[in-house]
Structures are given as C-alpha cells and as structure tokens.
Amino acid sequence: MDDNLKWDDLKVFLHVARGNGLTAAARVLKLDPATLGRRINRLEEDMNARLFVRSPQGYGLNEAGQRLLTHVNDMDRALRSGQGQVRDNKSDQMSGSVRIGAPDGSANYLLPQVCAEICDENPGLDVQIVALPRVLNLSKREADMAITVSPPKAGRLTVQKISDYHLHLAATEDYLASHTPITCKEDLHDHRMIGYISDLIFADELDYMNEVGEDVKAQLASNSFSVQLNWARRGAGVCVVHDFAIPTFPDIKRILTNEVSLTRSFYLVRHADDRKVAHLNRFSDMLVGKIRAEVRRLEAQA
C-alpha cells in the first residue's frame, strides 16, 4: 500500500461509492467518467486491493471498499467540521454545501421555499434536495441529512421530530361537478382513486388506502406523490393530498374532511458522527424551525 495516498483520489472513491458508479460521481465532481475510472484504478493499484465490484449496473463496494469507506467518511466529516468552524469564526452566515434527502411530497411543496429562504439569509450556502421514493442511506453519505415519515430503528443515527402534518381526500372542482356526489366514504367505490403502488410503498405511513375505506383501491397508482397529484389536477380522480400542498393548487378541494383525516409526522435524520459538525448543526436547527412554520402557514390556508 502506498503511504502517500492523495485526498483527491480518496474523494473520487467517496463519490463513486456514494453514487454507485462513475456517472453520478462525474456529475458531482464535474469530471469525465473515464477520468474517474482511471483514478479508481490508480487508487486500487496504490492500495494493492480491489475496492469495487464492477457490473453493468455500476460500481458496488466489496468488503475492502466498505472498510475503506468508513475511514474516508471519517476524514470527510473531520475536514468539513474544520471548514465549518473556520467559517463560523469569520461570519455569522453559513457557507459550503448541504444535501438533503426527502420524500417527494416535502421535497416539492415544503423544501423549495424553506431552503431558498435559508440561502437568502446565507448567500454562501449551496443546498441540494434529493427527492427519492425511498429512505436514503446516510451511512453511504447519499445525503448529509434526510427527512423521513417514520423514525429509523437501526443505524448510528440521530432522529428529531420536525412536525406533524395532515392529509385529506381531494379532487378538482370540475371532477366533483361532473361525477356522482361524494357524501360518505362508501361513495368512493363509485369513483376512481389515485394512490401509491402497493408493493413499492417504502414506509407503512404511506399506506393510506386502508385508512380511507374498506376495499378502497387505487386504480391510478404511482410511487411518486407528485405524479398522483398531477393526475388529480387533471381531474382523473380522487387523491389523498397533503394539506400543505393544497394552497399551491386552488382548483383542488378537500372532501369528506370529517370522515377521512390522516395525521403523519416528519423526522429529521442525521448520522450520529455529524453531531460535532457545526454548520450542519446550524443548518438543521434552521431547517426544522422553518419547516414547522411553513407547515403551519400552509395548512391554515388549506
């Protein structure tokens, strides 16, 4: 093993591991994938060990790569912590970059305005939102922090409840005017329902249909809430919609609010080793406070 490993090569390794391949890492590092491939080959030669299993699906870490990732993650956290402390001593404003993973409901209808406001107050800060229909792997550093709808039960993670939020059945005014009236849950059997694909639901909290009514099923289904909402906006049927999304689409109206009312919660999840990273602590405090305020503001308008 070469005693003079370069941090630049380890950083390439880190991003290839996080992105499971050269293409995703190339986008982050703004380098050519072929160049990254050569850098990975050089690193493996320097370490005299294979770190990845190559396949048509990408680059997967082998056992040696997993061990190295633990140490490189520690180095990356230490470096960012030091940078954050230096910046904090220079200015009250945050700088650097933060990546947040979130389900697409919050990623589309809460985080854009919340993160834009944080960046307005901290012009040197870059924020990335990763909207995926799954829970991101913080151990692999797919994100610095994640918003989830259920608290994780395993891993070296810290969990903070952000806020409760509410959901109701909704449809467009045109749809409601052109279809049979909906006065009770039983009437839903005469309407096309929009919801999640049952076998792709990644958290029990997203399995809404069991709470909507007995034998109520989604005839139009997607793993993305945004797709579901776009169906509803086109008058395709009835959908369970977050109250905080309703004000964005004034043509969508809530129905059966006394019979069907769901309450869920958002949680902020971080890697336990990040507790000493000053700028992530400051960012998470600001993020939680602003999300709470935005949920309250939007739900009051629903």
In order of start, what are the domains of the chain with their CATH numbers? 7-70 (1.10.10.10), 94-163+265-301 (3.40.190.10), 164-264 (3.40.190.10)
Phi, psi (degrees; rounded to nearest 5) at 101: -95, 140
Please report, in angstroms and rounded to a whole number, the separation of the first and last CA atoms in the chain. Answer: 61
Local confidence pLDDT in tens for the 302 residues of the chain: 455 567 888 889 988 988 888 888 888 788 888 999 999 999 999 888 999 999 888 898 899 988 898 888 778 766 765 655 555 444 567 778 898 999 999 999 999 999 999 999 998 888 999 887 666 666 666 788 999 999 988 888 899 999 999 999 999 999 999 999 999 999 999 999 999 999 988 888 999 998 898 888 999 999 999 999 999 999 999 999 999 999 999 999 999 999 999 999 999 999 888 887 888 899 999 999 999 999 999 999 98
Angle at CA of residue 206, ends 201 and 207, nearest 5°: 80
Q: Which residue has the tokens 């399995």?
A: 207
Pair of tokens at residue 114:
């919340």
Q: Which residue has the tokens 């406001």?
A: 117
User: Cα(36)–Cα(12) distance, rounded to whole angstroms?
Assistant: 7
With beta carbons less than 8 A apart as the criterion, state whether 31 and 38 touch: no
SS3 167: strand
With beta carbons less than 8 A apart as the criterion, state whether 198 and 221 touch: yes
With beta carbons less than 8 A apart as the criterion, state whether 120 and 147 touch: no
User: Cα(169)–Cα(122) distance, rounded to whole angstroms?
Assistant: 38
Phi-psi region of 167 (alpha: psi -120 to 50; beta: other; left: phi over 0): beta
With beta carbons less than 8 A apart as the criterion, state whether 224 and 129 touch: no
Transcribe 249-265 into DSSP letters. Answer: -TTEEEE-TTT--EEEE
Q: For residue 270, what is the DSSP state?
A: E
Q: Which has the closest alpha carbon to 18: 58, 45, 49? A: 58
User: Cα(244)–Cα(208) distance, rounded to whole angstroms?
Assistant: 17
Q: For residue 137, what is the DSSP state?
A: -
With beta carbons less than 8 A apart as the criterion, state whether 237 and 194 touch: yes
- What pLDDT sits at residue 74? 75
Pair of tokens at residue 73:
């993650």
Q: What b-and-e string marks burial along 39-51, b requiring 16 or more CB atoms within 10 Å of the CB?
A: bbeebbeebeeeb
